[in-house]
Amino acid sequence: MLNEILPAQEKLLSFLLVLARVSGAVAFLPIPGWRRSPEATRIVLALSLTVALVPACPKPPHLNPGLGELAVWVIQDLGWGVFLGLTVNLLVEGFVLAAQCIGLQAGFSYASTIDPGSEADSTVLQVFAQLAANLLFFAFRMDAELIRALANSFSLHQPGAWTLQWNTFSQVAELGAEVWRTALRLSIPILALLLMLDLAVALYGKVQAQVQLTTLSFPIKIVMALASLAVFAAAMPGVFRAQMDRWVAMAMR
């Protein structure tokens, strides 16, 4: 009887710890409307991934933890899952930040809509950039890389053994800086064109004071911004791929 109870207890502990790690990552998936989706959908996804990843989980430190020790294990694994989920979200935020910079300069901030991800008042370009980044997320199989990182994390960080270290903060700071680098790389060329247009309109307004250029500048800027985005959209997959490779390198070490 004892030989039957011990394997069952070990499997139950492994399932609980894997579920905590998977739930932290699933909660922050960069999918539009994910936070507003039915709870049953998120629960089923977390349980399905847990069942698939339990065989990759090594044995817990021991099979008879106290209630406090078990809570510490769960919090540690939940923290690692949240860390992975948040860093994946940073891959999308660079594109959203670039769209916000462009939309503010181009005049799209006058008309806004509701972002399905954050439920915030966002410009049209921000929503478009987020949806485009989410499409790239699945096109480059980032979902599979996230599952692979979760499976590999059990060999890097034993269940109940991960602790928050200074290296973790430095990795998050590095990815946060990458958000700004991505936003600047994508937005600066378009912002420069819009600035040149503003200067041209201002100079022409000085020469021809009787011409009302204020009402014409906004449509021109919007058209130029859309045309520039159409040209520079081809660079988005390459930028996302470079970010994805950096994330994979960070998650696998």
Helix, strand, or coil here: 155?
helix
Cα→Cα distances 206→215, 216, 217, 224, 241, Å: 16, 15, 14, 22, 46
Position 165 scores a pLDDT of 65
User: Could you report the per-residue pLDDT of 164-201, keeping only the tens digit for each?
Assistant: 666 666 777 777 777 888 888 888 888 888 888 878 77
User: Could you report the per-residue pLDDT of 127-141, keeping only the tens digit for each?
Assistant: 788 888 888 888 888
Position 166 scores a pLDDT of 63
Instruction: Name residues whose C-beta falls within 8 Å of residue 55's C-beta, 6 or more positions apart in sequence.
Output: none
Number of domains making up the chain: 1
Q: How far apart are CA 228 and CA 91, in angstroms?
A: 22
Instruction: List residues bridging with 112 in a β-sheet.
Output: 123
Q: At what angle do helices 124-139 and 142-156 cross, to 10 degrees?
A: 60
Helix, strand, or coil here: 114?
strand
State pTM to two decimals: 0.72
Q: Does the pLDDT value for residue 142 go beyond 80?
A: yes
Position 2 scores a pLDDT of 33
Domain carrying residue 128: 2-251
Query: What is the Cα 87 distance to its own chain's centre?
Result: 6
User: Could you report the per-residue pLDDT of 21-76, keeping only the tens digit for each?
Assistant: 888 888 877 776 676 777 788 888 888 888 888 887 777 666 666 777 777 777 88
Q: Which of 144, 161, 153 shows the shortest CA–CA distance to 57?
A: 153
